[in-house]
Structure 1
Amino acid sequence: MAFEQQYFICFLLVLLQLPFFTIAQSYKNISFSSSLTAQEDSDPHWASPSGEFAFGFRKIGNAGFLLAIWFENIQEKTIVWSANRNNPVQEGSSVEFSAEGKLTLTDIGTGKPTNIADGQSTYTGVAYAAMLDKGIFVLATRNSTYLWQSFDHPTDTILPTQTLNLNSSLFAQLTATNYSEGIFKFVLDSDGNLMLYTVNYPLKSNNFIYWPIQTGGGFQVLFNQSGSIYLTTRNGSILG
């Protein structure tokens, strides 16, 4: 089944009116031991090869800084992903791509380091990090196999070429200026059902389903480059 853009705009979960872009295959590698530090009046970042996207620190009002990915070449500089949406850090906090291949966010307020790539089982083979023109940040091997990628850990947005797999979810941000997980949740559950929930904030428990597609056979939500979104089965068939 193809889902029209207006559904997702209404639900405020997927930002489909963001500008489309040409997918580039070039890389602008980030060297080991590189780091960024959150600073007032600037957005320190690592850019994608075309400059379309940036990965770095964005100040969010008085709440602090998000380690985020955003559109760099539009006036709004719309954020499409963040590593610490529920826990902004303060000025002077840093992110480092270490010599061991770890991507670590250190909060200056607590001194506590957080491994951003927490789903990565091993760092053996990490050759570089990169912010790509698809809007994805990766840790990769020499032959460009992704050992970790931000697309596998979505927050409130999906981008062209991105997929949502079983048990993946998107949380709308709480308010226009508060990027914490809010009261609306879009999920492809373990049974393959695609649903929109309201959430009991701040408990994060599901409240009720207000937009269900009870297919029982969904496997992935695909967002293609032309702007269409599909729910597919494991063999790639489009459900409809």
Structure 2
Amino acid sequence: MASALDNPLLFLLALILFPLSVIAQTNGRISLGSSLSTSDNFSWVSPSGYFAFGFKPVADKNLFLLAIWFDKVPEKTIVWSAQRGNLVLYGSKVELKSSGQLVLSNNQGQEIWTAQVTNGSATSAAILDTGNLVLWNSNSGITWQSFDQSTDTILPSQILDMGTTLSSRETETNYSSGKFELRFQTDGNLVLYTTNLLTNYLYNAYWSSGTAGTDSQMIFNQSGYIYLRQTNGSVHNLTSGAIVSTTNFYHRATLDFDGVFRQYTYPKNGSSNRNWPAGSWSVVWSVPSDICMAIRDDFGSGACGFNSYCMIDETQRPSCHCPLDYSYFDPNNTFSGCKPDFVSQSCEPDGPGKDHGPQFQLIEMANTDWPMSDFEHYNPFNEDQCREACMVDCFCAVAIFRGTDCWKKKLPLSNGRFNSGVGGKALIKVPVVNSSSQFPFLP
């Protein structure tokens, strides 16, 4: 049977039907007029094939994120995305237009995102082996690059200037901006903050590099080390200890959805590297070491949601739990906070506990606290006095007793944490009728 190469008409037809996105990458450069669609199942890849740019299905086969990802890592870990969590529907398209603009259009043909180029219009584009998507002008000058528009991740060879911000995801699977930010401030200090998502108001910092007062750049070098290089010649290292080679390992540093900034490695040969876990990213270092204890603020919920408490699990990551007779607002998101599964103690004279015997009790949880929800403090007090003070107060949801101190807490509870260093005990007020119910996880 004759092939398309034997028939010029068949060959021409094959070229017409073959996706332009693939043809455009034969020399590593993406030419003007090239496009990708959610329907063609293709992506633009780096020369080595390490990285890819295109549409990635997220959560639902009909929803897509325009993103860059590690293409040879099984889970296709995303390192950058356009429009963060604004997903597009099937039929959307990204195109390097003949005008030199990289444009994302939705399935109705409306342009919803454009790479804001400088130094003239782009004449070509490429996804580099560094994971950087670049647009070039006719003089091979960069007119736009994804490295200048970081979302939650940085990669080797990337340099951040002062004034740059990384924002966490909202959840592990929701790529919208979350409540944590890593800010490389204009004073030279690298700082982690929690934020109010509605107003972008910054709450108190929960970690900083302590380098304020020096002009510097944050560098993730090609050897896999992250450091602040200051204009006076000094270097402030962030990566701690020895690092594995970038030749044999993928590297990334991500401000994760849980508020911890972590540097990761992944063996390029996958399971063939017997000294490293197959099929997973390994943490090289992270800050802060215990985010449950690091966040302490008068505002916001803390590392976990309101009315929950945070603890570091066996994987050294924060996990969020509800007290007895409380349940998650969203069972699919344990960081969403908790709500009471009972009607609170009545403040009416004839309410529960007044004429019909005790309707509430105090359940103990050692080494647990919600330090920023106080409305009353007694000292000196013994435990019996602390218990009584909470039981007769309809506003008291929890009492904390430690030494000779007693604090009464109101809802919503914030900055909850469990840690052996907390000391004392939490006395949580719950209905007696549920006292025989199955306890959730208790430390």
Partners of 1:32 and 1:97 within 8 A in 2: yes
> Of residues 157, 163, 180 in structure 2, which corresponds to 1:161?
157
Write 1 or 2 for the structure with the bigger share of helix. 2
- Corresponding residue of 2:210: 214
Say yes or no: does 1:145 pair with 2:130: no
The equivalent residue for 2:120 is: 123
Alignment of 1:38-77 (within 5 A): 38-39=38-39, 43-62=41-60, 64-77=63-76
CA separation of 1:236/1:105 partners in 2, compared to 1, >3 Å: closer, same or farther?
farther
- Decide whether aligned partners of structure 1 residues 237 and 116 sit closer, same or farther in structure 2, where only a CA change above 3 A counts: farther
3-state DSSP class of the match of 1:134? coil
Measure how far apart 1:106 and its partner are: 0.6
Residue by residue over 1:82-129, the C-alpha shift from the partner in whole angstroms, topping out at 9 and shown as x without a partner, is 0121311111111000111100001225x43134322x24534x2211
Match of 1:37 in 2: 37
Q: Which runs of 5+ in 1 are unaligned?
A: 1-25
Q: State the structure with more CA Rg.
A: 2
Report the Cα distance in structure 2 between the residues aligned to 1:133 and 1:51, rounded to whole angstroms.
8
Query: Take 2:183 and 2:104, find their aligned partners in 1: how far apart are those partners?
Result: 27
How far did residue 188 of structure 1 move?
A: 0.5
The one-letter code of the counterpart of 1:175 is: T
The answer on whether the counterparts of 1:27 and 1:130 sit within 8 Å (CA) in structure 2 is no
| 1:32-71 Cα deviation digits (max 9, x unpaired) | 11111113xx743111111111010001113821110001
Counterpart of 1:233 in structure 2: which amino acid? Q
CA distance in 2, matches of 1:142, 1:235: 36
Local SS of the residue matching 1:129: strand
Alignment partners' CA distance in 2, 1:144 and 1:217: 33
Give the CA RMSD over aligned residues: 2.1
Moved more, 147-156 or 201-210: 201-210
One-letter amino acid of the structure 1 residue matched with residue 78 of structure 2: I
CA distance in 2, matches of 1:27, 1:192: 41
TM-score w.r.t. length of structure 2? 0.45
187 and 90 in structure 1: CA distance in 2 versus 1, 3 angstrom threshold: same
Decide which of 90, 95, 110 is 1:112's aligned counterpart: 110
Q: State the partner residue of 1:99.
A: 98
Given the alignment, which residue of 218, 222, 225 partners 2:222? 225
Match of 1:88 in 2: 87
- TM (norm. structure 1) is 0.80
Q: 1:116 to 1:30 in 2, by over 3 A?
A: same
SS in 2 for 1:198: strand
Unaligned runs of 5+ in 2: 1-25, 238-443
8 Å Cα contact 1:102-1:115 kept in structure 2: no
2:194 aligned counterpart, secondary structure = strand
For residues 237 and 36 of structure 1, the distance between their equivalents in structure 2, rounded to whole angstroms, comes to 45
Shift of 1:141: 2.6
Q: Structure 1 pair 141/219, CA: closer, same or farther in 2 (3 Å)?
A: same
Q: What do the CA deviations read for 1:162-194 (whole angstroms, capped 9, x no partner)?
A: 011111111111111101111111110122211
CA drift at 1:202: 4.0
Q: Which amino acid aligns with 1:151?
A: F
* Large movers: runs of 4+ above 6 Å: none
- Distance in structure 2 (CA, Å) of the matches to 1:223 and 1:94: 32
